[in-house]
Each structure stands twice: as structure tokens, then as C-alpha cells.
């Protein structure tokens, strides 16, 4: 999806008359349709791939403490070897989820390059030397934490799918559904009371975000050190999972301490 977005942005807009262009437009329409629902499509596919919807919801809502014992197998995909249909559903769900993260990464890199382009390389480098916290850290951390998600889901895909994926996609789906329902209710019916808008709903988001925090932390602290099938150093996967965890902790701090009023 991210590569398709870049291709569509770079190609000439006047190329739209022949049959090949119509095929490209139809393909791009499919891509944009998937992109519009990329917050809920992975969750739906994950539920379909699970042994049962209840098992998928349990895996998405629990903290993952039982998975710390290597003798205990994660059962959300079932006791037996996964079928071809399950494998296909998981691959599509992971591809859609990772495409959204790649798009976010590319857009963050693009914003950083635009700042350098508008400021000039020399002045930007001078500002970075004078104020590293204001000029170096924000783009570095913004790119690094987005890259961490891509690394975890690409090179550590097996533990990621078994341990954290149901919680991650369920959290994003619930956040999307809550935000859309809140916006539609406020526009079509009446504005929600401030206590619900500013306190209750953020706390509900925190509740379904906690399994993501714990499971991603367990990935970096317990599962990735034992994972040998990645093809990359385990330290890279551990660092990526811990960077993701650090961002999750920052989100929790922002929601519970800064955003939620006393």
C-alpha cells in the first residue's frame, strides 16, 4: 500500500486514457478501499483465522502472562497445524497492517526531508548542533519507533503473530470504531457530556491498550531472545520491541496523566 501510494503520487496524472491506465486506476481504487478500512480489516481477518471468535477475543484481551512459559503453546490459532485458509488470512491481515505502518514511516521521513528542504541543509545542520533535543531527537525517534513496528512484524513475524497480533489489531479496531461512533453520535444526535468525552472514553481506550503494552514488552523481554528463525540478530528484534514498548508507555502517560483531567 505504501509503495502504491508513492507510485500514484509520482506518476503523471495525464496518463489516464488507455486500457492499461484504467486497470491501474481500478487497482489503485482497490488499494485505497483497503486503506480506508485498514484499522478494522486486520482484526476481522484475525477473528476469521482464529480457532473461534471467542479464542481470538481472549487472546486480544488478555495480558499474555500464560505465554511466558515455553511449555505452554499459544492456542488462539488452534491445537493442530494451521490450515491453508488460516495461513492466507494471516498473511493478508499482516500485510494490510504492516502497509499502514510503512505508509506512516514514509510520511514521517517525507516530513523530515521537507523541513530540511525548506530550511536548507546548512541551516538545518547548524540548528541540529545547537538544539539536538529540538532538531535531532523528534525526527530520530519518530522514524525509529515507526521502523521498530516494521522490523518486529517482518523479521519476528512468527512470535509477533502468535503473541501480540490479536491484541494489537483488536486495540486499533476498537479505537477506530469508538472514534467513528463518537464522531457520528456527536454530529447526528447530540454532543457527549464532557465527562464521557474526556474521561470515560480515554480510559476505555487504555483498557484495551493494556494487553498491547504487556504483550509487546513480553515479546522483547522473553520471546525474541529465544527466537532463532528471524535471519537477523535477536538484539535487533529485542531493541525494536522495547522501542515499541517505550512509545506505548509514553502513550499511557499522555492519556492518564496529561490528557485525562483531574
- Backbone CA torsion sign across 94, 96, 98, 101: negative
Q: What is the pLDDT of residues 40-49, one digit of tens each?
A: 999 999 999 9
pTM across the whole model: 0.84
Burial letters 153-178, b for 16+ CB under 10 A, else e: bbbbbebbbbbbbbbbbbbbbbbeee
pLDDT of residue 134: 86
Contact 75, 55 (CB under 8 A): yes
Q: According to the model, what pLDDT value does residue 6 have?
A: 53
Q: Which residues contact 39 (CB under 8 A, 6 or more apart)?
A: 100, 172, 173, 175, 176
Tell me the pLDDT tens digit for each residue of 83-116: 899 999 999 999 999 999 999 999 999 999 999 9
Report pLDDT digits (tens) over 203-216: 888 999 999 999 99
Amino acid at each position: 500500500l505504501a509503495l502504491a501510494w508513492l507510485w500514484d503520487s509520482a506518476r503523471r496524472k495525464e496518463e489516464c486514457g488507455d486500457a492499461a491506465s484504467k486497470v491501474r486506476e481500478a487497482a489503485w481504487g482497490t488499494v485505497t478501499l483497503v486503506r480506508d478500512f485498514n484499522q478494522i480489516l486486520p482484526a476481522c481477518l484475525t477473528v476469521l483465522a482464529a480457532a473461534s471468535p471467542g479464542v481470538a477475543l481472549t487472546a486480544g484481551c488478555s495480558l499474555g502472562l500464560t505465554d511466558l512459559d515455553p511449555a505452554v503453546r499459544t492456542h488462539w490459532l488452534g491445537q493442530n497445524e494451521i490450515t491453508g485458509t488460516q495461513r492466507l488470512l494471516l498473511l493478508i491481515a499482516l500485510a494490510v497492517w504492516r502497509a499502514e505502518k510503512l505508509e506512516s514511516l514514509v510520511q514521517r521521513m517525507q516530513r523530515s526531508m521537507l523541513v530540511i528542504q525548506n530550511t536548507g541543509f546548512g541551516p538545518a545542520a547548524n540548528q541540529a548542533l545547537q538544539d539536538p533535543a529540538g532538531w535531532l531527537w523528534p525526527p530520530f525517534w519518530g522514524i525509529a519507533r515507526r521502523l521498530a513496528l516494521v522490523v518486529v512484524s517482518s523479521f519476528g513475524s512468527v512470535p509477533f503473530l502468535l503473541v501480540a497480533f490479536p491484541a494489537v489489531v483488536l486495540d486499533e479496531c476498537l479505537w477506530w470504531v469508538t472514534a467513528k461512533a463518537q464522531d457520528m453520535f456527536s454530529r447526528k444526535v447530540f454532543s457527549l457530556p464532557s465527562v464521557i468525552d474526556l474521561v470515560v472514553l480515554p480510559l476505555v481506550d487504555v483498557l484495551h491498550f493494556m494487553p498491547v503494552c504487556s504483550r509487546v514488552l513480553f515479546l522483547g523481554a522473553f520471546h525474541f531472545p529465544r527466537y532463532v528463525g528471524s535471519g537477523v540478530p535477536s538484539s535487533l528484534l529485542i531493541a525494536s520491541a522495547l522501542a515499541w514498548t517505550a512509545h506505548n508507555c509514553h502513550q499511557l502517560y499522555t492519556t492518564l496523566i496529561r490528557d485525562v483531567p483531574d
